[in-house]
């Protein structure tokens, strides 16, 4: 396994750790995490830990793609696993936020449904020996989702200080791009889909 693929696997391994930090019953063990207060905005300590872990995951996402292209280490395994790692990381975050009622369920459902359809198309293509890499819109969707997660973890800072709901904007904009990119992906690969019918 080459270095880019190892970074992708590392990103996947970060996910259970993030979930553990998020759902750990700190009060049951008499643990109190420090909080960060900026003006009137309070950021829970667990959010800061998760933010660091999530940013490490985002950095590995950039690095694995950069190294694979610059060192000519692109593999079919990497093309297949990289977008799955992104979806696992981001969708896990959104589901956790949704369960905690931090964000509404509708955008999360739309994004998860979209990812399921795209993965289905990839499976159809894979059965024919074709590996479909992520397109530009899919990468844009991922970047917007990452920004949304960071803003949620930071309690909408710095925009909260000027009462600007940037988190809501990025959540719904990334949902729209997710839906549109899924439709574009479907249209671009409809021949593969029709052959499988």
| The pair of three-digit structure tokens given for residue 145, joined into one six-digit string | 């989702």
pTM, two decimals, is: 0.91
CB-neighbour burial class of residue 4 (10 A; exposed 0-12, middle 13-18, buried 19+): buried
How far, CA to CA in Å, does 35 sit from each of 29, 134, 188? 18, 38, 47
CB 121 within 8 A of CB 195: no
pLDDT at 122 over 90: no
CB-neighbour burial class of residue 98 (10 A; exposed 0-12, middle 13-18, buried 19+): middle
Helix (H) or strand (E) holding 159: none
Q: What is the pLDDT of residue 133?
A: 67
Domains and CATH numbers, the chain: 3-188 (1.20.120.1760)
At 77, the pLDDT band (50, 70, 90 cuts) reads: confident
Comparing 59-68, 152-161, 166-175, 188-197, the range with the smallest average pLDDT is 188-197
Task: Residue 176: name the closest of 111, 92, 93, 119 by CA.
Answer: 111
Q: What is the pLDDT of residue 160?
A: 95
pLDDT at 80 over 80: no
Question: Per-residue pLDDT averaged across 68-78, rounded?
Answer: 81
């Amino acid at each position: 396994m080459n270095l880019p693929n190892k970074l992708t696997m590392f990103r996947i391994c970060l996910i259970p750790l993030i979930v553990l930090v998020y759902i750990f019953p700190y009060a049951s063990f008499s643990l109190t995490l420090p909080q960060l207060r900026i003006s009137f905005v309070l950021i829970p300590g667990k959010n800061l830990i998760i933010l660091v872990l999530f940013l490490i995951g985002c950095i590995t996402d950039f690095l694995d793609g950069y190294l694979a292209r610059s060192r000519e280490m692109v593999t079919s395994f990497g093309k297949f696993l990289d977008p799955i790692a992104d979806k696992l990381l981001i969708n896990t975050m959104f589901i956790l936020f949704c369960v905690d009622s931090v964000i509404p369920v509708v955008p999360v459902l739309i994004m998860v449904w979209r990812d399921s359809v795209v993965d289905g198309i990839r499976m159809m293509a894979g059965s024919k020996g074709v590996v479909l890499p992520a397109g530009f819109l899919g990468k844009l969707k991922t970047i917007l989702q990452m920004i949304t997660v960071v803003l949620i973890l930071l309690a909408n800072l710095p925009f909260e200080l000027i009462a600007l709901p940037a988190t809501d904007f990025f959540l719904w904009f990334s949902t729209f791009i997710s839906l549109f990119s899924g439709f574009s992906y479907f249209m671009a690969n409809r021949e593969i889909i029709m052959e499988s019918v």
